[in-house]
Structure 1
């Protein structure tokens, strides 16, 4: 028989357990040694935070981060440049379209007579790409050549020059120009410039020719008398028939960085600079400059070849080319 004290302790323990269950206090079972070892091993498998970098390890980590930033930047720069160039090509295309429309409208207008320009009060800067009709005479002695400029004939390219001559009024003719202008008469072969340079050179040793004449003719007074040429009067000198020119008002050319500078002293003209050419011809800086577009060229005398009107509404890089460049970028 169990003792009385043991029975009392067992009943007390059962009462305390019942009281805990009624209050909702969980009882923690005792862990077995196997379960406790499993928990310890699981804690050991969890990743531990890396130790702080010091010294060379920290410097190497910063270097790798900087390299990553630079590589991203180098990949971004080409894309940004391509985007910028493509956008610029789009804007440039729109500008070309507007300029071509402007030129076409100006060329479709009725031609203006040069003598009427002053009376109508036209601004010279606003006359570009307007057709002009004028009458007068060419001053061949002051012609100059701009070039070289190539021209393709039946697939064969030939180098030549643009010949620019002062167009002066004819005395006593009310229909002729009232003041001189500059006219780009068109393209001529290289031989024209060579012949002009040869004619402009002064003759060598003029005294030798006089000596030869005296030796041949024996210094005869009668020979001097008969060899005299009659002097031409001013009316006889200016018997040329006025020329009618149909042209388009143009401005100075804008050369690229690869085009050399003009050298008026040596007669080298690489691009059209109206004030400089006007000064070389003895004309004012604001002299009007037109390009001959007369299509009625003579078969027997084809030179100079006037400019084609269609070349005035063309660019070396057309709007379609800008669109192709945009797609390329």
Structure 2
């Protein structure tokens, strides 16, 4: 019986030690990713339409025309913003020590941008938009977006990796919960 008790006493220490090692490995990996991103961001932007492959975190420029008819809204996604003291009082929320601001729900707007000459297309994440945009996109919000040739600068990114809690995308219903580049392109 003494050996079993000793093993049970040792088990929590072994689990805690392995978790500590895992956290250290994860920290080193994350530091490497951050360093890679910082180095890539120091480079001048390159024309995305002249690149054969998009390295991650690479600053890129793209010039072309948005296809507003193929816009995709990914979300819902939260955005936090800071309220002034007056706005906080007007909102009816109580000020707390940890109140960093407020959170709104919306979507990421993803649109194809097609190069005028080569006809190559890239997806551009145009950023967070309010939920009304998705609801009223076809009725007129899209008409208020940039028309004709535009030039954008951004950072190359691929698909997101959804957690097990994120539902599957439903392209046929227009519901995208995570950025799936091949899935968005094929639809």
Structure 2 residue 125 is matched with structure 1 residue 184: yes
Does the aligned pair in 1 maintain the 2:66–2:148 contact within 8 Å?
no
Given candidates 110, 113, 116, the residue that maps to 1:164 is 110
Change (3 A) 1:115 1:276: closer
- Paired residues, number: 163
Aligned position for 1:249: 156
Contact 1:115 1:178 in 2 (8 A): no
Question: Any residues of structure 2 matched to 1:1-329 within 5 Å, and which?
Answer: 67-117=1-51, 122-124=52-54, 127-154=55-82, 155-170=101-116, 174=117, 178-196=119-137, 199=139, 240-280=147-187
Normalization by structure 1: what TM-score? 0.47
Alpha-carbon separation, structure 1, partners of 2:160 and 2:35 = 20
The structure with more radius of gyration: 1
Measured in 1, the distance between the counterparts of 2:107 and 2:37 equals: 25
Output the TM-score relative to the length of structure 2. Answer: 0.81
Q: Distance in 2 between matches of 1:112 and 1:195?
A: 35
Question: Equivalent residue for 1:321?
Answer: none
Gaps of 5+ in 1: 1-66, 201-239, 281-329
- After superposing on structure 2, the runs of 4+ consecutive aligned residues of structure 1 that deviate more than 6 Å are none
Unaligned runs of 5+ residues in structure 2 are 83-100, 141-146
In the TM superposition, residue 153 of structure 1 has moved relative to its aligned partner by 1.5
Match of 2:96 in 1: none
**Structure 2 CA distance for aligned equivalents of residues 274 and 246 of structure 1:** 19
Q: Distance in 2 between matches of 1:247 and 1:265?
A: 29
Instruction: Looking at secondary structure, tell me which structure has more helix per residue.
Output: 1
Residue equivalent to 1:318: none
